Amino acid sequence: MSSYPARAVVDLAALASNVRALAAHAPTAQVMAVVKADGYGHGLLPAARAALAGGATWLGAAQADEALALRAAGIGGRVLTWLYAPGAPLRQLVEADVDVSVAAPWALDAVVAAARESGRTARVHLKVDTGLGRNGMLPSVYRDVLDAALRAQAEGAIAVVGVWSHLAFADEPQHPTVVEQAQVFADAVAHAEQRGAALEVRHLANSAATLTNPTVHYDLVRLGIAVYGLSPVPRLGGPEAFGLVPVMTLEAELATVKEVPAGFCVSYAHAYTTTEPTMLGVVPLGYADGIPRHASGALPEHPGGPIQVGGRRLAVAGRVCMDQVVVDLGPGAREVAGDRVELFGTGAEGGPTAEDWARAAGTISYEIVTRVGARVPRVYIPTTPPAASALRGAGEPRSADVTGGEGRG
């Protein structure tokens, strides 16, 4: 057990159940759980395994190394990777049975060459820029690359299994670009089919589109943030509105507690000043642990990011430092060093959420969970309770490797 006085508790049972709930939202599509960015900060391998246990049949990894790490760990299912530059380990990817995206003419050449070297057929998904304006081929380039890809397919080097794209405004379902992009995508798919491509998976929807727009589900939905139990459309509803439960709880033990007078200046640049005699607690998590410095609390009337202490919703007082933040526990507070505080979690019983932190920092919940620092230990609640035979004696907690886990709902 780590001696780190803080941890991210990752409830893999909640993750698997989120995948099941999401699959029910898209009954005609297969589910890809996107596990890029270390499983959105939750841990690549545990997140991938739990997602497969919940019924996902595909895993999505932005980076080639993440895709290879999945295979190196013996993880099955289909894996798609999509963001690479010249020099990428394409041959290794093909040999590891990873599907690869092609988002530029050079990438098709590189994948075909890698497939020929390995003597295997590479499975390729052609990525169309239907209007996001990021990675992907504009339709005219796509049509040329499609023809070249079908020639390489005829030679057996590759199989064009997918055409795909990504939306710019999925989180604003009424935005006119959603329909426009969907039409460009439909045209790209129809063109491929006219040219004789036998597409296995056409895919366009991320979490937000999956939950708000069944017309873009196609054969496969690519789910990231919702798998981790956070709402992709907070203006339309929180996780509970979609049957989701936040997977990560970030908690810490108070390192110190002390009594201070009124007018006491707190942390760097004295951005916060106590208004009355009070108790201050030091929470051993800072911006190196992913606590956004933008969620600093300046003066008592501009509270920082929320911190739940003994059933009270408090806030960061003063500047977020590299390793620590201060919380104003209030006059007469009874907390002592070692007491548990929660920065965010399921939101049960009014507790703070990653979405609350996103609002406090002027960002999105994605950034809150993906930036939880590598040095913060991840503690996993397993997808299934340990088998009775694995428990030595009665009265063991459900997960023996979780500490301080009471009251997480």
Ligand X SMILES: *Cc1c(COP(=O)(O)O)cnc(C)c1O
Return binding residues: 134, 322
Rounded to 5°, the CA angle 292-7-385 comes to 135
- Catalytic residue selected from 258, 268, 366, 380: 268
Active site residue 268: yes
Query: Distance between CA atoms of 296 and 357, rounded to whole angstroms?
Result: 11
Q: What are the b/e assignments for 168-206, b being 16+ CB within 10 Å?
A: bbbbbbeeebbeebbebbbebbebbeeeebebbbbbbbb
95: left (phi over 0), alpha (psi -120 to 50) or beta: alpha
Minimum Å gap between C-beta 282 and ligand X is: 34
Which of 18, 30, 206, 249 forms a contact with ligand X (CB under 6 A)?
Answer: 206
Active site residue 36: yes
> 137, 50, 126, 64: which is closest to 98 by C-alpha?
64
Which of 54, 131, 162, 224 forms a contact with ligand X (CB under 6 A)?
Answer: 224
Q: Which residues are annotated as a binding site for substrate?
A: 134, 322
For the segment 345-404, give every residue that binds ligand X (CB under 6 A): none
Handedness of CA 296, 300, 306, 310 (dihedral sign): positive
Query: Distance between CA atoms of 126 and 232, rounded to whole angstroms?
Result: 25
- Catalytic residue selected from 36, 142, 218, 380: 36
Choices 9-17, 206-214, 312-320, 331-339; region in contact with ligand X by CB under 6 A: 206-214
Minimum Å gap between C-beta 225 and ligand X is: 4
Rounded to 5°, the CA angle 167-168-170 comes to 65
Minimum Å gap between C-beta 247 and ligand X is: 13
> 176, 229, 186, 226: which is closest to 206 by C-alpha?
226
Which of 81, 207, 324, 365 forms a contact with ligand X (CB under 6 A)?
Answer: 207
Choices 115-123, 223-231, 249-257, 376-384; region in contact with ligand X by CB under 6 A: 223-231
For the segment 225-264, give every residue that binds ligand X (CB under 6 A): 225-226, 232
Choices 142-150, 201-209, 258-266, 349-357; region in contact with ligand X by CB under 6 A: 201-209
Residue among 14 and 280 whose Cβ is closer to ligand X? 14
| 373 and 288 Cβ atoms separated by less than 8 Å | yes
Residue among 55 and 284 whose Cβ is closer to ligand X? 55
Site map (CB under 6 A) of ligand X, residues 33-52, x = contact: -x-x----------------
For the segment 167-186, give every residue that binds ligand X (CB under 6 A): none
Taking CB under 6 A as the rule, does residue 223 contact ligand X? yes
Contact residues for ligand X, defined by CB under 6 A: 34, 36, 62, 166, 206-208, 222-226, 232
